[in-house]
C-alpha cells in the first residue's frame, strides 16, 4: 500500500517589523502641515548654504544710481538705500542665521547641555547640586537682557583679541569675514541653549539610572562613560530631538534681535536683523525709508517668520510622534 505523503506546511511569512526611526518618519510624513513645514525649512536653509552660488550680485556692491528701486528683472527684490541687491543680502543673511543656529546648538545644547545633563542626573549628589545652582543663577536673568549684556561686554574684547592675532600671525579676515561675530553671538546665546537641555536630560537620566539594564551593566563592570553614552543616551534621544526642534526657532529669533540692536553680525556681513534694523532704525533717513519703501522689510521678516512658525509646527508634530503619552 502506497504511503501517503503529508504536504509540508507552508512557511508563514511574518511582516517585517520596521525600525523605530522608520516608524517615526512614516508617522511624521502623514502629518501634512508638519511635513510641508519641514520642506520649507529645508528649502530656506539650502538657500543660505548655497548663497555664494545663487547670489545675483555681490552683497557688498553698491550702486548709488539704483537706490530704492522696486523689484525688477535685475534686482528681484529691489535695492536698498545704498543700492545693494536685497535678494542677495537676504540669502546671505539666511546663511548667517543657519551658521549661528547650528553652531549654537551643537556647542550649547547638544554638547554642553546633553553632557552636563548626563553627568548631573547619573552622579547626583554634590555634582548635581553645583550644576543645578549654577544653571538656576544663570536662568534667573531675563534671557534677552542677559544675551544683550554678554554680547555688548564680550564684543570689544574678542574683536581686540582677533585683531592682535591678525597682526601677530599675518592672518587676515578674522574680523571682516564675520567669524568674530559668530563667536560673540555663539557665546552670548549659550545661556539660552544649554540650561533647558541640561534640565531635560537630567530628568530623564534620573529615571533611567535605576533601570534594570543599567544596573546589569554596572554589575558586569561596564565603565561609566559606556553606560552613559551607550545605554542611557540612546533612550533620551527622542525628547532631545523635540527640544531642539522647538529651540532652533528661538535661537534664530535671538540672533535677529541681537543684530537688530547692533550687537550681532556687523556690516558689511549681511544679517536679517541688520536688514530690518536699517529700515526701521530711528533717524530721518530711516523714517523716510520705512514710510516710502516698507516693501524692503517684507523679505527678511517673512523669512524670520517662516523659520519660527515652521520650526514650531515641526516641534509639535515630533512631540506627538515621539512622546508615547501623546499617542
Q: What confidence category does residue 286 fall into, taking pLDDT thresholds of 50, 70 and 90?
A: low
Residue 217: partners with Cβ closer than 8 Å, 6 or more residues away? 226, 227, 231
Mean pLDDT of the chain: 80
List the chain domain ranges: 29-55+76-326
Q: Of how many residues is the chain composed? A: 327
Question: Tell me, what DSSP letter sits at residue 324?
Answer: G
Is the pLDDT score of 130 beyond 50? yes
Phi, psi of 123 (to 5 degrees): -85, -30
pLDDT tens per residue, range 176-190: 777 777 788 777 777
Q: What confidence category does residue 9 fall into, taking pLDDT thresholds of 50, 70 and 90?
A: very low
- Residues 82 and 102: beta-carbon distance below 8 Å: no
The CATH code that applies to domain 29-55+76-326 is 1.10.3720.10
Q: What confidence category does residue 35 fall into, taking pLDDT thresholds of 50, 70 and 90?
A: very high
Average pLDDT, integer, range 263-268:
75
Is the pLDDT score of 2 beyond 60? no
Is the pLDDT score of 10 beyond 80? no
Q: In this predicted structure, what is the pLDDT of residue 290?
A: 65
Q: 289-298 long-range contacts, Cβ below 8 Å, gap at least 24?
A: 289/68, 289/80, 289/81, 292/68, 293/68, 293/78, 295/70, 295/78, 296/78, 296/80, 296/86
Q: What confidence category does residue 136 fall into, taking pLDDT thresholds of 50, 70 and 90?
A: confident
Q: In this predicted structure, what is the pLDDT of residue 324?
A: 58
Handedness of CA 51, 105, 315, 27 (dihedral sign): positive
Q: In this predicted structure, what is the pLDDT of residue 44?
A: 92
CA–CA dist 313, 323 (Å, integer): 15
Q: What is the largest CA-CA distance in the chain?
A: 112
Is the pLDDT score of 83 beyond 50? yes
Q: In this predicted structure, what is the pLDDT of residue 288?
A: 60
Q: What confidence category does residue 287 fall into, taking pLDDT thresholds of 50, 70 and 90?
A: low
Is the pLDDT score of 254 beyond 90? no
pTM of the model: 0.79
Q: In this predicted structure, what is the pLDDT of residue 114?
A: 87
- Residues 91 and 158: beta-carbon distance below 8 Å: no
Amino acid at each position: 500500500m502506497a504511503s501517503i505523503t503529508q504536504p509540508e506546511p507552508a512557511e508563514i511569512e511574518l511582516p517585517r517589523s520596521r525600525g523605530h526611526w522608520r516608524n517615526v518618519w512614516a508617522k511624521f510624513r502623514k502629518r501634512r502641515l508638519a511635513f510641508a513645514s519641514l520642506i520649507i525649512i529645508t528649502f530656506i536653509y539650502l538657500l543660505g548654504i548655497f548663497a555664494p552660488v545663487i547670489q545675483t550680485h555681490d552683497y557688498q556692491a553698491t550702486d548709488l544710481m539704483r537706490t530704492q528701486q522696486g523689484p525688477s528683472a535685475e534686482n528681484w527684490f529691489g535695492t536698498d538705500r545704498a543700492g545693494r541687491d536685497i535678494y542677495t543680502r537676504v540669502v546671505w543673511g539666511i546663511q548667517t542665521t543657519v551658521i549661528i543656529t547650528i553652531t549654537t546648538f551643537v556647542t550649547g545644547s547638544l554638547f554642553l547641555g546633553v553632557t552636563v545633563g548626563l553627568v548631573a542626573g547619573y552622579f547626583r549628589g554634590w555634582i548635581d547640586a553645583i550644576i543645578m545652582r549654577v544653571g538656576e543663577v544663570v536662568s534667573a536673568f531675563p534671557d534677552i537682557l542677559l544675551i544683550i549684556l554678554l554680547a555688548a561686554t564680550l564684543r570689544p574684547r574678542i574683536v581686540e583679541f582677533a585683531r592682535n592675532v591678525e597682526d601677530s600671525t599675518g592672518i587676515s579676515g578674522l574680523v571682516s569675514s564675520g567669524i568674530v561675530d559668530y563667536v560673540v553671538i555663539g557665546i552670548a546665546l549659550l545661556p539660552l541653549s544649554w540650561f533647558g537641555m541640561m534640565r531635560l536630560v537630567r530628568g530623564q537620566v534620573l529615571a533611567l539610572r535605576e533601570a534594570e539594564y543599567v544596573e546589569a551593566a554596572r554589575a558586569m563592570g561596564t565603565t561609566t562613560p559606556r553606560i552613559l553614552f551607550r545605554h542611557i543616551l540612546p533612550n533620551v534621544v527622542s525628547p532631545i530631538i523635540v527640544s531642539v526642534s522647538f529651540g532652533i526657532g528661538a535661537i534664530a529669533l535671538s540672533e535677529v534681535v541681537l543684530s537688530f540692536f547692533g550687537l550681532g553680525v556687523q556690516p558689511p556681513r549681511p544679517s536679517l536683523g541688520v536688514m530690518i534694523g536699517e529700515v526701521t532704525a530711528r533717524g530721518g533717513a530711516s523714517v523716510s525709508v520705512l514710510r516710502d519703501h516698507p516693501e524692503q522689510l517684507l523679505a527678511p521678516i517673512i523669512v524670520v517668520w517662516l523659520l519660527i512658525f515652521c520650526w514650531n509646527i515641526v516641534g509639535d508634530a515630533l512631540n506627538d510622534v515621539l512622546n508615547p503619552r501623546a499617542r
